[in-house]
Amino acid sequence: MHPAFSVIFFTTASGAGYGLLALLALFGVTGLLPLDTLLGFVAFALSLGLIGAGLLSSMLHLGHPERFLHALTQWRTSWLAREGVIAIATFVPAGLFGIGWVFFNSASGLFAWMAALAAVMAATTVFMTSMIYASLKPIRQWHNGFVPPAYLVLGAMTGAVLLVLVSSLFGVFNPVFALLALALLAAGWVLKAAYWRHIDSSRSQSTLGTATGLDKFGEVRLLEMPHTEENFLMREMGFQVARKHAAKLRLIVHAALFLVPLAVMALLLWLPLGPVAIFFVALAAAGSTVLGVVTERWLFFGEATHTSMLYYGRTM
């Protein structure tokens, strides 16, 4: 599939924003994060800003953005519509929780319930985003059991790295934040490696014979290409990444998204660093994570091939 920048930005930015929102709810209610006004303002601005920017990017990706609200009415049959409805609804409890933190320095009572609801709805939104892709049977690289957990873990993982950065900016870094990020990074690495191993070893159940219904007569081969020139379908559904380029990009993901942030979190846990050093080390981890997650998401789309490419002689 052609890796559109708007969709890459949407899935990475909103995933990180929802991950950070859920962790703010967890650590704000439990008292591990101080309910400071400036800290809350910056943290919620970053979280909700990433979510809002991601949703705006996804809306602009639609062929007719003006039909966005109409698209939400299809929630009974469309994961995209369900994701849109829940994403918009999440702003209500998230906003109320943010008001309690920023203006009243409170995360108890009603604000605690709003925090819990915002965290649940954030995770639900990320899951529904993953199902937009995992539900597409014609794309074997997406239609598998690795996609939803990978989306959830990568969202929480990037949110945890941002939490370490924000907390270090205000001098309230807690080793628990780095320990959680470390665990999520390790889980994300295992999941991503398993996903790549799965798509490399599996093959589509569809062939040119099953696609045309002629397999009962024997092997079906393409006599000649359906088109003399590349068309829209081939550009969008049949986008290909050269194997050598994919291998290099996977190495970048392994290093930038997992290895470097893992090493940084280990340093934060085991070395006695001062507040300024902690911030710059956390900033380096966040920068590496951004590079890694954008590359990972580009590959997620770039390595996916639609079954319709069988009609163009592509092996699946």
* End-to-end alpha carbon distance in the chain: 13
**Contact criterion met (CB below 8 Å) for 114 and 93:** yes
- Indicate the pTM of the whole model: 0.91
Q: How many Cα atoms are found within 13 Å in the side-chain-facing hemisphere of 122?
A: 33
Mean pLDDT by 10 residues, the chain (316 residues): 82 95 96 95 97 84 64 82 92 96 95 97 96 90 94 97 96 95 97 95 71 68 67 65 83 97 94 92 96 95 79 64
Helix ranges (DSSP H) in 135-242: 147-169, 175-201, 208-212, 232-237
Residue 215, token pair as written in the block = 């397999």
**Contact criterion met (CB below 8 Å) for 181 and 163:** yes
Tell the CATH superfamily of the 5-312 domain.
Formate dehydrogenase/DMSO reductase domain (1.20.1630.10)
Q: What is the pLDDT of residue 74?
A: 81
Q: What is the pLDDT of residue 229?
A: 67
Q: What is the pLDDT of residue 306?
A: 76
